[in-house]
Chain A
Amino acid sequence: MLLGSRDRSGGQAHHDHRGTLLFRRSRPAAGAVSTGASGRFRGEISKDGSTITYTLSYSGLEGTVEAHIHFALEESDLIRTRYPLLHDTCQVIADPLVRNLATLGGNLAHGDPANDHPATMLALGAEVVAAGPKGERRIPITSFFTGPFATALKPDEILVEIRVPIPPARSGGAYLKLERKVGDFATAAVAVQLTLAASGACDQVGIGLTSVGLTAIKATRAEAALKGNRPDDAAIKRAAQLCAEAAQPSEDLRGSVEYKRDMVRVLTARALRKALERAGEGR
């Protein structure tokens, strides 16, 4: 039996077989169970330097996975320096006690459009690995979220790995979330990951939007507008506007459609500036 991790709100359940692990270092054969010793979160960079693969610790109970737990990401210098976007994200998920248990994999596999990591992984250009009876397959994060609480995982598959490209030099990222109080879902949130060319122009840009649509949204038009251009005030303003237009929020107790759209605009501009600042610091 496999037990899934809690969703980010810590709400009851969703103890399905999906959504348990994520960054992994090793795992048992599909369908098998493990009672191996608990490990700690660990990041490993592949030989060709192209991919960083993270841990996973199997603990006591058969099949229960406690890795990629948010506190481990939050406390990791590797994450803070290499992935400031991921580090930002982990600090605003739920509350510290929930982060002591909740996992990144669960946050993704739950498929909740209000979860924070989907937008972050869209911005980072991640890829997930699903494992089932027929073996493993890789799924680009862009085709992973298929609807509210729905993912590309099949009923007999589990998410066993998340692969995140290593940002090159002159990269930076940031996650900005507007929430009513600690532990709440985002009213709106924006994830930005970018890399500057030597010329100062944007070489790579990824932008993900949280909680303003049926799934997390990749703001492709804003990305395209920035790519190849210098991220000056006018470019940032334009990208922020395009993100606001890409948002498809619905009205609820957190605000009206217009308000949320405008918050996407504001958060995008701020996240871009923060990411640029970090890229300049060589992060």
Chain B
Amino acid sequence: MWVKLSINGEKHEADVEPRLLLVHLIRDVLRLTGTHIGCDTTHCGACTVLMDGRAVKSCTVFAVQARDKQIMTVEGLEQDSKLHPLQQGFMAEHGLQCGYCTPGMLMTSYAFLKKHPAPNEEDIRRAISGNLCRCTGYVNIVKAIQYAAATLRQGGS
């Protein structure tokens, strides 16, 4: 089946099997390997991307279901060689250890902060409850998201 979609503002198209998952289209066909596959069963959230602005686990989505959608992956965060405040926050607050969950954490947080610019810790923890960090580094992940929220509120980009 023919799929056209936009990823990080760039148009892509591919002829795919109906069973192909979006994450496999992104990684294996389009070679955007920033999006990770952790569990392949929609538990871990490492493969989280934005689909029309909503954070979804891309191993839960068939590539053909993303037809005509706007997808954003972790590669879309950096703009003009400048890291997004979330990425800066994860660096500044040591929000990653092994880094495997990071792309998913970033994308979930990105969608979350768009809707909740001034979240408290509980809001943040609820928002990332579908993303697992096997290093259990949640404390610093929460701090990193708070860092980004503060930066964004101050008009940082």
Contact = CB atoms under 8 A, between A and B. Distances in A.
B129 interface: yes
A61 B41 contact: no
Interface in B57-113: 57, 60-62, 64-65, 67-69, 108
Q: Across the A-B interface, give the 10 residue pairs with the lowest CB-CB distance, nearest first.
A: A95-B130, A10-B42, A97-B130, A60-B67, A182-B129, A100-B54, A61-B64, A100-B56, A95-B129, A97-B57
B43 A1 contact: no
Nearest to A69: B54
Interface in A83-135: 94-98, 100-101
B127 A96 contact: yes
Given A100-B55, A183-B129, A183-B130, A3 B42 contact: no
B60 to A, nearest CB: 5
A218 interface: no
Contact of A10 (B43, B48, B62, B69): B43
A12 B40 contact: yes
20 contacts: A3-B62, A3-B65, A6-B42, A9-B43, A10-B57, A10-B60, A12-B41, A60-B64, A60-B68, A64-B64, A94-B130, A95-B130, A96-B108, A97-B48, A97-B55, A97-B130, A97-B131, A98-B42, A183-B43, A183-B129
Interface in A1-40: 1, 3, 6, 9-12
Contacts of B60: 6, 10, 98, 101
Interface of A: 1, 3, 6, 9-12, 59-61, 64, 66, 71, 94-98, 100-101, 182-183
A100 B130 CA distance: 11
B117 interface: no
Given A94-B130, A95-B130, A1 B55 contact: no
Nearest to B48: A97
B18 interface: yes
A95 B130 CA distance: 5
Contacts of B57: 10, 97-98, 101
- Secondary structure of the A contact surface, majority rule: loop
Chain B interface extent, by class: 20 to 34
Nearest to B132: A183
B67 A96 contact: no
B126 interface: yes
B130 A71 contact: no
A61 B67 CA distance: 7
Given A6-B60, A98-B57, A100-B54, A11 B41 contact: yes
Contacts of B108: 96-97
Contact of A98 (B40, B65, B130): B130
A96 B126 contact: yes
A97 B62 contact: no
A64 B59 CA distance: 16
Interface string B6-42: 0000000000001000000000000000000000111
**Residue of A9, A71, A101, A182 ringed by the most chain B CB atoms within 10 A:** A101
A3 B61 CA distance: 11
A8 to B, nearest CB: 10
Contacts of B68: 60
Given A6-B42, A11-B42, 12 more contacts: A10-B42, A12-B41, A60-B65, A61-B67, A66-B65, A95-B45, A96-B108, A97-B108, A97-B130, A98-B57, A101-B57, A182-B130
B109 to A, nearest CB: 12
A116 to B, nearest CB: 16
A64 B62 CA distance: 10
Contacts of B126: 96
A40 to B, nearest CB: 12
Nearest to B40: A12
A273 to B, nearest CB: 24
B42 to A, nearest CB: 3
B41 A10 contact: yes
